Amino acid sequence: MDVVPFILTLIGGWLLGVAFVNWTLRMQPVRRGVIVHVGVAAVATAVMIVGVEGGGALIRALPEVLRGPVVMGQLALIPAICWTLLGVLSRVTSLARRPSRNPRTVPEWVEDRTGVTVTFHAVPMRLRTLYGWGIALAALVAVVISIPIVNDAVPRWATQSPMVFFAGAVIVAIPPYLVFRAVCARLTRSVLLRFTSRGLTLTEDGVSVQIPLSRVTRLVWSASGESARVEIQAPGANRSLLVSVARHGRGTLAQLPPLRARTASWLAEAGIAEAGIVEAGLVPVEHTGSRAKRAPARVFERVFE
């Protein structure tokens, strides 16, 4: 197999694993996501072990036109299964972790008579830039791992276990990942965002910008997850602030508080319609005052345009 198809196969398998794990994390109720995650991980791991131990004869028995796709599919399963198992390990460690005496909290809204204010830390970065970093990291890992494989420099015992590839990928990925975290820590800014019935005020490291709600063309409020961020688009202002990768103080989660119902009503009064929910199932929208009796809408990312 040539180097380029080999690298693309590994990247494709990794992306498949990331998509599957994120899909299970969004499942409601949470128990269903855990069952699906663990079940698929167990079955896929068993299939991989059987394929490594006795799959050679089966592949040789296939028509020549099918051997290539089957081998590439087997290679793609290695990073996909490794990422799935890593997700299972993350779930297990989260359950086994002792409750903290001082649990971390989400930034809270500060409400007064004229508006609501929240303070958080964020990195000025677009979501596609974050995904670009991830793809570049996966490509780097695939290239480094593929060099000894293509040159037949890998011991036979190492090719029999997917976990060897996983361990090698982790070792290769740690240095560039630490560089990325250091860059994000350096770019982290203190952000204060205030909503009123007429406009919003965005303050980054002491520099404030006031935008009337009537001039806002797009507002994205993603409360949690790897895409936790605020996007604001208006004439003369186009900001994307990623919360998920910023450096936060002790006791603070890398999340945003749910968008207040009164803020959504101000946006509606300004003529900004809710364009829809991008991903469902994680964060309830807060309802205060006379709306407290209403059932909360469970949303992950709200988009107003």
pLDDT of 75 reads 76
Question: Hey, CA dihedral for 246, 227, 223, 267, is it positive or negative?
Answer: positive
| Residues 223 and 180 grouped into a single domain | yes
Q: Mean per-residue pLDDT for 96-104?
A: 64
* Confidence at residue 285, expressed as pLDDT on a 0 to 100 scale: 38
For residue 191, name the pLDDT band (cuts at 50, 70, 90): very high
Residues 14-28, mean pLDDT to the nearest whole number:
83
Q: What is the pLDDT of residues 246-268, one digit of tens each?
A: 998 888 888 899 888 888 888 88
Q: With bands split at pLDDT 50, 70 and 90, how would you rate the model's confidence at 130? A: confident
Cα dihedral 225, 100, 174, 148 in deg (nearest 10): -90
Tokens of 246: 């910023």
Q: Are residues 157 and 44 in the same domain?
A: no
Domain boundary among 81, 97, 113: 97
- Shared domain check, 204 and 119: yes
pLDDT(84) > 60: yes
What pLDDT is attached to residue 1? 53
Beta strand 298-299 with 110-111 is unpaired
Specify whether 303 is located in the same domain as 165: yes
- Residues 56 and 152 both lie in one domain: no
**Last residue in a domain, options 97, 125, 158:** 97
Does one domain contain both 59 and 126? no
State residue 121's pLDDT score.
94
Pairing of strands 274-277, 237-242: unpaired
CA distances from 201 to 195, 242, 276 (A): 7, 17, 24
Same-domain check for residues 251 and 140: yes
CA distance 81 to 164: 13
Using one digit for the tens of pLDDT, what is the confidence trace for 103-119?
778 899 999 989 999 99
Pick the last residue of a domain from 97, 113, 133: 97
Residue 5: domain span = 1-97
**Calpha distance 7→3 (Å, rounded):** 6
- Average pLDDT value for the chain: 78
Nearest-angstrom CA–CA distance, 286 and 260: 5
pLDDT at 69 over 50: yes
Comparing 138 with 247, the larger pLDDT belongs to 247
**Which residues, 6+ apart, have CB-to-CB distance to 196 below 8 Å?**
114, 115, 266
Instruction: Note whether 64 and 159 are same-domain residues.
Output: no
Q: How far apart are CA 76 and CA 152, in angstroms?
A: 19
Same domain for 12 and 78? yes
Distance CA(104)–CA(240), nearest Å, equals: 25
Q: Are residues 253 and 109 in the same domain?
A: yes
Quick check: 190 pLDDT over 80?
A: yes
Give the total number of structural domains in the chain: 2
- Domain check: are 85 and 147 in the same one? no
The residue whose two tokens read 């006795």 is 54
Higher pLDDT, 99 or 17: 17
Residues 72-87 have a mean pLDDT of: 80
Q: Using the 8-state DSSP alphabet, how is residue 297 labeled?
A: P
Mean pLDDT for 191-220 is 90
Greater confidence, 305 or 211?
A: 211
Whether residues 93 and 113 share a domain: the answer is no
